[in-house]
Structure 1
Amino acid sequence: MHEAGQADRHSLGMATRRAVLGDAHVDRAEAAKTEFDRPFQDLITEAAWGHVWSRPNWTQRERSMVTIALLAALGHSEEVAMHVRATARTGASREDICEAMLHVAIYAGVPAANQAIKIAKQVFDEMDGKGEQR
């Protein structure tokens, strides 16, 4: 990709990332970025957020549910928590997450779903304490 296109993809990715994860999360990640992980952070911003999450065919709600299910299936607990928190901005409901976990249980295994459900419940408790209930 040429430099102007790459800059556009990065800008779009950063805007999408902020819309989904929130300014506070992105600001913390940006402040923690070093020269060592800058290429990785740029890749995530441009590829995940600037390309995949910015495509028009699915809503952020739909992408959110698929992302949570995939992360749960793969056992990526920290990322599950981050994306469950993001549902406050994507429009995915707790019922959506519950349905996704049923699919995870059948297609990826009960232990993976059980772990993700525990994480989701912890995040919901945090969100309820902050008045972010959906």
Structure 2
Amino acid sequence: MADQTPNSDAYRRGMVTRRSVLGDAHVDRAQANTTSFDAPFQKLITEGAWGTVWSGDQFTKRERSIVTIALLAALGQDEEVAMHVRATVNTGATREDIREALMHVAIYAGVPAANHAIKIAKGVYAEMDQQAAAKDR
């Protein structure tokens, strides 16, 4: 569904924030894959999650990134954990920040949830390191 023209302020703000966190390539793929079935959902998350919550001024993007990863890990949302770990290059959340957040997950949401999220984060960081090394060659 190439022609999406929602024009609310929250949508416009959300697209700017979404692109700054997840990157243009991710957002472009999501938009290219949008159909009439999920267009209302895409609008909802762009306005609500990205245009309101992620665009708020009480937390930095780094803080939002840490909280988001901890919540996703606690809920077992593996694909979303990986996506948001990748996004830390844009949010400023460090590997140490994420490690500490996952330590909290272990205590407050359970060791298995944290253990699995740590496995995911390690895999994502290994991919990111390989990509960075390839660019440096």
Task: Please indicate the TM-score interval, normalised by the length of the shorter structure.
Answer: over 0.9
CA offsets 1:52-76 (integer angstroms, 9 cap, x no match): 0000111000000000000000000
- Which residue identity is paired with 2:106? A
CA-CA distance at 1:7 after TM superposition: 1.2
Calculate the TM-score normalised by the size of structure 1: 0.93
What secondary structure does 1:57 align onto? coil
The unaligned stretches of length 5 or more in structure 1 are 1-5
Identical residues among aligned pairs (%): 70
Cα deviation code 1:20-51 (max 9, x no counterpart): 00000000000000000000010000000000
Equivalent residue, structure 1, for 2:4:
none
Q: Match for 1:56: what amino acid?
A: D
Look up the match of 1:102: 103
Calculate the TM-score normalised by the size of structure 2. Answer: 0.91
Residue number in structure 2 paired with 1:41: 42
Hey, which bits of structure 1, 4+ residues long, moved more than 2 A? none
Distance (whole Å) between structure 2 residues aligned to residue 38 and residue 11 of structure 1: 15
The 3-state SS of whatever aligns with 2:132 is coil
The unaligned stretches of length 5 or more in structure 2 are 1-6
